[in-house]
Amino acid sequence: MQKRTLGKSGLEVSAIGLGCMGLNHSYGPALEKTAAIGLIRAAVDQGVTLFDTAEVYGPYINEELVGEALAPVRDRVVIATKFGFKIGDAAGGTDSRPAHIREVVEASLKRLRTDRIDLLYQHRVDPAVPIEDVAGAVKELIGAGKVRHFGLSEAGAQTIRRAHAVQPVTALQSEYSLWWREPETSVLPTLEELGIGFVPFSPLGRGFLTGAIDAHTAFAADDFRNGIPRFSVKNRKDNADLVDELGRLAAGKGVTRAQIALAWLLAQRPWIVPIPGTTKLHRLQENLGAANITLTAGELSAIESALRQIKIAGDRYSARQQQLIDR
């Protein structure tokens, strides 16, 4: 597996990481524990070193799963987790008060079976807490040796700048893919200027870009895609043109749609590290194979030309979820 460095931080990770959320959260029934641990360890065996989790996935279960799976190889991997939500509060919402951050880190360290968190993200920007206070709290945790690197998730350019001025930001994690390119407007230039790495989540469009989902696909009752406008039956029909075009490009290169989508991301910047998730070993192997695919300038130009002709239908989040995105 090729390696990449997240910005100027010096944090080296595999070119493709593993997003662990879907093992037990948001995408239908949880994978049986033994199988989930087996999949994480299979990823390690194939060279993956970046593993992404969060306290809210479950909640707590995902961190415990990742901690148990990676304990035998702890010094060979980079574990990323997140703080920033109220858990157990019926009203929900964000909570990035410094005292709460410290509490979350202590609890996450225990669940992850480790003495340090390699990359700690603020899961969503908290409008009630100045980002300078958040960055300052993480800076103290870094000084104490409990955290190694600071990250943000779904933060806008100005928030990134303000946080970075207090504690250098190693990575931003936000959605970015062939069907969500909004970060290209202001976020990617900001990251490039400041020397911050980018970790795209949902790089396969929550499965849609693989071609495995169409207008007839029925999601499990607890699959959160049921509530996402982009996954309505009508919008899935309307977005089929993108999947068809990916299919043509993939067939011409002898690879899969997923591999084209991931290879495209890797080609955008040398400090981009996507974290596709899966519950299936063959999909894991397929995704990791994208690191060995090089798209030529001509192929990238063809993709760009094709995308200009396709209009993506539907918002990527519900109105309530969209309120948590910082601009």
Q: Which residues are catalytic?
A: 57
Q: What are the backbone dihedrals phi and psi of residue 18, each rounded to the nearest 5 degrees, phi first?
A: -125, 120
Beta bridge partners of 253: none
Listing DSSP states for 273-326 in one string gives ------S-HHHHHHHHHGGG----HHHHHHHHHHHHT-PPPS-SS-HHHHTT--
Dist. CA 316–CA 312, nearest whole Å: 10
Beta bridge partners of 51: 18, 79
Dist. CA 230–CA 150, nearest whole Å: 31
Q: How far is CA 169 from CA 130, 149, 163, in A?
A: 16, 7, 7
